[in-house]
Amino acid sequence: MKKMTKRLLTFLLILVLSISIFDAQECKVQFERKGCIKTNRVVYHTQIANNRDSHSVVFTGKQVNWGNYQKSLQELIGECANRASKHGIAFAVGDYNQCWIATDEQNYNISFENQWQKSDGCIGHDFTKCVSSKHNLCAGGIGSQYVYFIGHQQNQTVDGKWGNWTSFTKCSKSCGVGFQTRSRICNKPKCGGKSCQGFSTESQQCNVQDCPVDGKWGNWTSYGPCTKSCGGGFQIRSRACDNPPQKYGGKDCLGRATENRTCNSQNCPVNGRYGNWTSFRSCTKSCGGGSQSRSRSCNNPAPKYGGKACVGSATDSRACNTQNCPINGKWGSWSGYGSCNKKCGTGSQTRTRSCNNPSPKYNGASCSGSSQQSRNCNTHSCYSGYMEFKTCEGSSRNVDCGSGKVIKLQDYFWGRTSKSYCRSGVDWFWSTSCRGGHGRIANRCHNRQSCKLEANNSWMNDDPCWGTPKYAWVKYRCYQSPY
């Protein structure tokens, strides 16, 4: 297990130290500005760089700085040109900070020469519309891409190469598995060249032979149980050569692994036992629970030589005449009156008493009389008198029954049934047979403590007689629930 742990640590050390460096900014690739087109993922379908998503495999390594977008755009386009020069003839910058590559010159020409593909949605480094006389570099926004043409340029990449290994270091241990390491340096790759493959350091085991370990005795165990409880026995204890055990050619422990001693040499004791019980004596009570007792002696045999006394009591008792004496019941105090079962309209409330002072028991007489009393309560009426009102069109009315009461509508409408109210306009144009607004008035007022009634078509959500001056009429009363 220790060997496996050491090997794992070595492997992790190698991974940490194996770091290569890539610097694409030393390369300069020439490119030509072409213009702004609508996003075309058919020609530009492969993303080669971005400076926004650090988890992306094509992340440039430098996060976009929106406060200095000009510098971020220069760095991104330079990196895009380097990467695109290896496999394509053009690249496009879209979504403000992402690059795609075009690898097919014919498709590139067709897509770019198509007038329908052109766009004016590209921006410069100052986030204004891209203008060639104002901006050196541009990028596409949402739904657009700015195209740069690079053609077929000579690949100037320089791959990294390993230098020579150093000598192995001195072994870390003289025995018991040590380690020694050596290292090498990767000459710096340039212009998108490949980094060195493999590790910059390596380790190997050395002095793998185990170190000798001499054995040493562990602690003695406690003595085991005696072979006899009396009359002379013996007991044993032991120890193990495991502190540590002998290993890898070390010396074994010296001495005996076990030892014994005598024990329990005293005479064996004789434990006492009880003789027979006597007969039970007379009961102490005639009812209500009495008792009667009996006894025995510790003489069959008596205890000797330190033997135990008899276990258990020398006397015994049992209940007798356990039938209870009769107890007559008596009433306890009345409770307070309970809550009224109605809030109005005459309810009742009750109080009770229990036959428990004391309760009748054992065939005693029960309490005489009733266990409860009732009386009337909340005798006032639940309803108030009927009230009604009329509200002309264009005005409003508040209705409030007060705490604990709700509005109960008797009759109501929105319209006109009489020429005597809310007179306005031309008399002959009035209608006296229109009623509406029932649903809205009921929803807003019925079974509510209060409501505000607006006399207009919008609030009523109804116009039962168009052009006729209308009014709202409501008949109601306030109601307090009896429950």
> Domains of the chain (ranges plus CATH)?
31-150 (no CATH), 333-377 (2.20.100.10), 383-422+430-480 (2.60.120.740)
Q: Is the pLDDT of residue 100 over 60?
A: yes
Chain centroid to CA 91: how far?
A: 46
Give the model's pLDDT for residue 400: 92
What distances in angstroms separate CA 88 from CA 85, 118, 188, one per listed residue?
A: 6, 21, 25
Three-class DSSP category at 234: strand
Q: What confidence score (pLDDT) does residue 180 get?
A: 92
In eight-state DSSP terms, residue 358 is: T
18 pLDDT more than 80: no
Band of pLDDT at residue 153, cut at 50, 70 and 90:
low
Quick one: pLDDT at residue 156? 57
DSSP string, 148-201: EE--SPPP--B---B-PPPPPPPPS-SSS-EEEEEE--BPPPBTTPPPPPS-SE
- pLDDT for residue 28: 67
pLDDT at residue 244, as a whole number: 92
Give the whole-angstrom CA distance, residue 350 versus residue 353: 10
Q: What is the pLDDT of residue 138?
A: 94
Alpha carbons 483 and 481: distance in angstroms, whole number: 5
Q: Which helix (H) or strand (E) holds 51?
A: none
Mean pLDDT in residue range 25-32? 68
CA distance 466 to 471: 13
Asked if 309 and 348 touch (Cβ cutoff 8 Å), the reply is: no
The stretch 412-437 carries a mean pLDDT of 76
Checking if the pLDDT of 108 tops 90, the result is no
DSSP symbol at 115: G
pLDDT band for position 7 (50/70/90)? very low
- CA distances 181 to 115, 118, 173, 210, 211, Å, are 64, 60, 13, 21, 22
Let me know: does 317 contact 348? Beta carbons within 8 Å.
no
Overall pTM > 0.95: no
In percent, the amount of the chain with pLDDT more than 70 equals 87
If 0-12 CB within 10 Å is exposed, 13-18 middle and 19+ buried, where does residue 429 land? exposed
pLDDT in tens, 327-383: 898 998 998 888 988 877 788 999 999 999 999 988 888 999 898 999 988 877 776
Is 238 within 8 Å of 221 (Cβ atoms)?
yes
Question: Do 266 and 230 meet the contact criterion of CB atoms below 8 Å apart?
Answer: yes
279 versus 103: the higher-pLDDT residue is 279
- 283-338, pLDDT tens digit by residue? 988 888 889 999 999 999 999 888 899 999 999 999 998 888 888 989 989 988 88
Cα 460 to chain centroid, rounded:
48
pLDDT at 96: 85
Place of tokens 């410069």: 124
Please, which pLDDT band fits residue 429 given cuts at 50, 70 and 90?
A: low
Helix (H/G/I), strand (E/B), else coil: 7? helix
pLDDT of residue 27: 57
pLDDT score of 20:
28
Q: What is the mean pLDDT of residues 142-163?
A: 78
pLDDT score of 14: 35
Q: Are 84 and 91 in contact (CB under 8 A)?
A: yes
Residue 46 pLDDT class (50, 70, 90 cuts): confident
- What does the pLDDT average to over 80-95? 86
Mean pLDDT (the chain) is: 83
Q: Give the span between the Cα atoms of 44 and 103, in whole angstroms.
A: 8
Neighbour tally for 44: CB within 10 Å? 27
For residues 275 and 279, give the distance between their C-alpha atoms in angstroms, rounded to a whole number. Answer: 13
Instruction: Output 45 or 100, whichever has higher pLDDT.
Output: 100
Q: Is 16 helix (H, G, I), strand (E, B) or coil?
A: helix
Contact 472, 434 (CB under 8 A): no
CB 206 within 8 A of CB 170: no
